[in-house]
Amino acid sequence: MKRVSLDMIAKEVNLSKTTVSMVLNGKGDLHKINPDTQALILSVAKRLKFRPNMIARNLSTGSSKTLALIVPRIIDTYYGLIAESIEQLSLKLGYQVLLGTTHEDPVKEKELLLTFEAQQVDGILIASTQHNLEDIKTISDAGLPVVLFDRHYPEADLPYVVVDNYLGAQKLVKHLIESGRKNIGYVGLNLDLTAIKDRQRGFENAIEGRAKDSNNLKIVDHQHAKSDCRKAVEELILNQGVDGIVFETHYLALYGIAKIREMEVDYPGAVSIASFGDHEVFSIFRPEVTALVLPVEQIAQNSIDMLMRQIENKPGDDPHLNKIVEPSMKVRNT
């Protein structure tokens, strides 16, 4: 029942555990261990099914070969997709992934950060609530590599990978305008995030008179997103008389579409929509939903790259290689 340790192998072959350790780490030749000895150790290790105790190795090397991934929620397919990409990429690089979800709660996020730090992760990838700059700064300053993705702290000097949300909003509005819409509405969230603010700014800036008035921009409470979004859609259509709506996230679009259908307005004839972020069902819905595709693979890849660069190259190394990825329109029928 007891695990096989280096010592046991050493005893078995009558050599020191130093030798065994070196050989099993592939440094046998480097340390000029006799090939025969190496073969012997290797075979015994295999026979005894030796698996190094990573905890011990980690303590000794100071590296845990583990990354922490912190996201708002994992059932959000956007973060789910990023999580899956990151997990795959990490594994290829020999790193495990510890998962944490915040549900937009800064307190939970802080706890996660502290736990992961204590857990000696080698790096942290975080889509932050943007309410924990202090702690993230402290952790980063202490030398633990951090990469912010999807959401960043613009005022801080921390590496990040984000989407160009301002541009994204413009693309969405442009699409609706080009398809002939004259009075465009917007449903967004009351989250205090740069990404969100950028989307709203982008919308306001691109709208160029194609909105009745400022009431065309509806901000709903993220805690009651579903019911509030439905209300917002109703108001936009009934009171504001919009003929097009931009939804700030895929799930707002989902809620909105449900409401629009119930209202039995001519959709997408009288009211056309476009969503920030794609969703697997957007091409299954009839009509298919037009969306702005956020490049999840790119985000994952860039984040991992950025983190690895920090991990492998502790000293400064120009941390200002921030990445702003560009989203692209997937025009469908709405």
In the complex, which residues of this chain contact a second copy (CB under 8 A)? 1, 3, 51-56, 58-59, 64, 66, 69, 73-75, 77, 80-81, 83-84, 87-88, 91, 96-101, 114-120, 142-143, 251, 254-255, 257-258, 261, 280-281, 283-286
Cα of first residue to Cα of last residue in the chain, in angstroms, is 62
Are 256 and 141 a contacting pair, CB within 8 Å? no
The item of a second copy, DNA, none sharing an interface with residue 331, based on CB under 5 to 8 Å by kind, is none
Least spacing, CB of residue 64 vs DNA, in Å = 12
Nearer of residues 28 and 202 to DNA, judged by Cβ: 28
The tokens of 149 are what? 């993705």
Least spacing, CB of residue 260 vs a second copy, in Å = 10
> Cα torsion at 50, 21, 124, 309 (round to 10°)?
-130
Are 111 and 100 a contacting pair, CB within 8 Å? no
Q: Does 43 bind DNA (CB under 7 A)?
A: no
The item of a second copy, DNA, none sharing an interface with residue 315, based on CB under 5 to 8 Å by kind, is none
Q: Does 22 bind DNA (CB under 7 A)?
A: yes
64-93: contacts with DNA (CB under 7 A):
none
Find the radius of gyration of the CA atoms of the chain.
Answer: 26
Q: Does 45 bind DNA (CB under 7 A)?
A: no
Query: Widest CA span of the chain, in angstroms?
Result: 86
Q: Does 257 bind DNA (CB under 7 A)?
A: no
The tokens of 260 are what? 């629009």
Q: What is the 3-state secondary structure (H, E, C) of 256-302?
A: HHHHHHHHCCCCCCCCEEEEECCCHHHHCCCCCCEEEECCHHHHHHH
Least spacing, CB of residue 303 vs a second copy, in Å = 16
**Contact footprint for DNA (CB under 7 A):** 2-7, 14-19, 21-22, 24-25, 31-34, 37, 50, 52-53, 56-57, 59-62
